[in-house]
Amino acid sequence: MPKGRPEIDPNRCKGCGLCVAVCPEKILRLAEAFNRQGQHYSEVFAEERCTACTSCAVICPDSAIRVWRFAKEKA
Please report the domains of the chain, with CATH numbers, ordered by start residue.
4-69 (3.30.70.20)
pLDDT at 75 over 70: no
pLDDT of the residue at 24: 97
pTM above 0.75, yes or no: yes
Residue range 6-62, pLDDT digits in tens: 999 999 999 999 999 999 999 999 999 999 999 999 999 999 999 999 999 999 999
pLDDT of the residue at 72: 79
Task: Please compute, for residue 20, the number of CA atoms within 13 A of its CA located in the half-sphere on the CB side.
Answer: 15
